[in-house]
Each structure stands twice: as C-alpha cells, then as structure tokens.
Amino acid sequence: MQAQVESEELQAALGEARTLKETVRALRDALEQAQVDKEHSVQDAVAEAHNEIGQLKATAAALRDSLEQARIDREKAVQLAVVAGAEEISQLKATSAALREAMELQRINGEKAVQQAVAAAHDEIVQLKRTVGTLRDELERARIEKEQTMQSAIAAGHDEIRQLKATAASLREALEQARLDAETRIAAAVAGANDEIRQLRETVASLRSAIEQARVK
C-alpha cells in the first residue's frame, strides 16, 4: 500500500515537472515573440522616418526650384527694364537730333523762328527729362518691390524649413520614447518570467524534498 502511494506521488511529481517544463517553454516562446514584435515595431518606425525624410527632401527641392525661378524672373524683369531704358534713350537721342536739325533750319530762316524753336525744344526737353525721371522712379520702385517679394519668399521658405525640422525632431523623440517603452515592457516581462521560473524551481525542489522524505519514511 505504501509503495502504491509513493508511486502515485512520484507520478504526480513527474507530471508537475512536465507541467513546469511546458510552462518554461511557453514563457520562452512568449519572450521570443515579444522580441520579434519589438523588431517589427523598430523596422516600421525606421521606415516611417525614412518616408518623412524623403518628404522633407522633396519639399526642400521644391523650395530651391521656387527660389531659382524667382531669381530668373527678377533677372528677366531687370533685363526688360534695361532694354526699355535703352530704347527710351535711343528715342531721346533721335528726338534731340531732330530738334537740332529743326533749330538749324529755323536759324537759317530767321532769328525769331530760331528763338521759337529753341523755346519749343526746351519745353520738350524738360518734358522728356521729366518722363525719364518718372520712368527711372518706376524702375526703382519695380526693383524694390521685386526684391521685397524675393525676401518674403525666402523668409517663408526658411520658416517652412524650420517647421519641418521641428516636426522631424518631434518624430525622433516619439520614436525614442516608443523604443524605451518597449524595452521597459520587455524587461518587466522578463523579470516576471524569471520570478515565475524561480517559484517553479522552488516548488520542484520542495516536491523533491517531500519525495525524499517520503522515501526515507
């Protein structure tokens, strides 16, 4: 009868040992799955960061293209203004030549006619000078407005780049926090598993001790 009881206790202890082994195996599988999940999370975060960097590069390229186009437009406007000024000067020279011819003809025809022609020429020259001054002022205003527009565009581009950098920094901090949280959870899971394994080992040791004591009796 005693041998039967001991045999039953032995079978129970062996069954408990098998259960402990299965528990340890299950804990090991859970730890491996947690590691795999962590690696997947890190890979997803890295891919998202790469996508964000690509978008930032595309935005920077678009800003550079916009600035280059603005520079080209400004140069074209300046060139057009120079051409217009040259044409105006040519017209003024032609007008002056025509006036000189008219003055010479009037001098030949008489002093009075010459004086009248000179007065008329003087008035026209004054008007032409005023016209030239007005055109010069308009060209200067156009140049200033163009420069202000370019400066505004550059300032807007710098502001957008600063915002993109701030967004990238926030994303990096969020990724770092997620990594720390994952490591904390894994560490807690490992600690819990170690505690449970220690308790199982103590239980096995206790069962073995009880079996030994039963054998001694």
CA dihedral 26, 29, 35, 40 (to 10 degrees): -120
Mean pLDDT of 178-207: 77
Comparing CA positions, the residue from 86, 120, 94 lying closest to residue 106 is 120
Residue 106: CB atoms within 10 A of its CB come to 19
**What Rg value do the Cα atoms of the chain yield, rounded?**
47
Contact (Cβ atoms closer than 8 angstroms) between residue 210 and residue 16: no
pLDDT of residue 128 exceeding 70, the answer is yes
Report the pLDDT value the prediction gives residue 4, as an integer from 0 to 100. 61
- Using CA atoms, how far apart are residues 155 and 113, in angstroms rounded to an integer? 62
Report the pLDDT value the prediction gives residue 113, as an integer from 0 to 100. 61
pLDDT of residue 7 exceeding 70, the answer is no
**This model's pTM is above 0.75:** no
- Using CA atoms, how far apart are residues 212 and 75, in angstroms rounded to an integer? 100
Where do the domains of the chain lie? Answer: 2-216
pLDDT digits (tens, 9 = 90+) for 143-183: 888 888 888 877 777 877 788 888 778 888 877 887 787 78
